[in-house]
Amino acid sequence: MTVTVGVLALQGDVREHVHALTSTGARAVPVRRPSELDAVDALVIPGGESTTIDKLLRAFDLFAPLQERLRAGLPAYGSCAGMILLADRMIGGIEGQQTLGGIDVTVRRNAFGRQVESFETDLSIDGVDGEVHAVFIRAPWVEEVGPGATVLGRVESGPAAGRIVAVRQGPLLVTSFHPEVTGDTRVHQLFVQIVRDSL
């Protein structure tokens, strides 16, 4: 079964996510309008700047329709800024910043530090065979996980060892890192399987 996965195309690694999703056998399309959102089985919210994406969602009249679809069970995957937008609670946001919500977690923006403190490491993700090479760029981490959410991965070594960086709740998946930049499509494969299982 071919599933149609939208990639929110307001900011961030849109092309990279489209390429990764296409490599898994999904049909990937950019989403900028409510009518395009209506036509997809699932949505990827890429990395970028969470405050900017929040403002653009509202400017493009997408915030409320997307929030409604998420509440109705739309599968979604958020990487980095996408993790922040899918979190129910956020620490470190600017005044007026909102999240779409959906995953029962508290996320800290820019938790790993500034751009110069970006890093890469290998880690294990439940549901993915073998280690994943994870690229963290001004990334958030998860401070608290509520009873509805399941931790799928943590940083395994270094100063951030133990920090939660991958979580799932029902058809929603989030990671602090950017799998779309590594050429490894296994996280996208996991998400596409979540989408298929939800249909």
What are the residue numbers of the active site? 80, 178, 180
Q: Tokens in use for 75?
A: 């599968």
Rounded distance, CA 199 to CA 5, Å? 12
Q: Tokens in use for 62?
A: 């997408």
3-state DSSP call for residue 111? coil
Tell me how crowded residue 63 is: count the other CB atoms within 10 A of its CB: 18
DSSP string covering 35-104: HHHHT-SEEEE--S-HHHHHHHHHHTT-HHHHHHHHHTT--EEEETHHHHHHEEEEESPPTT------EE
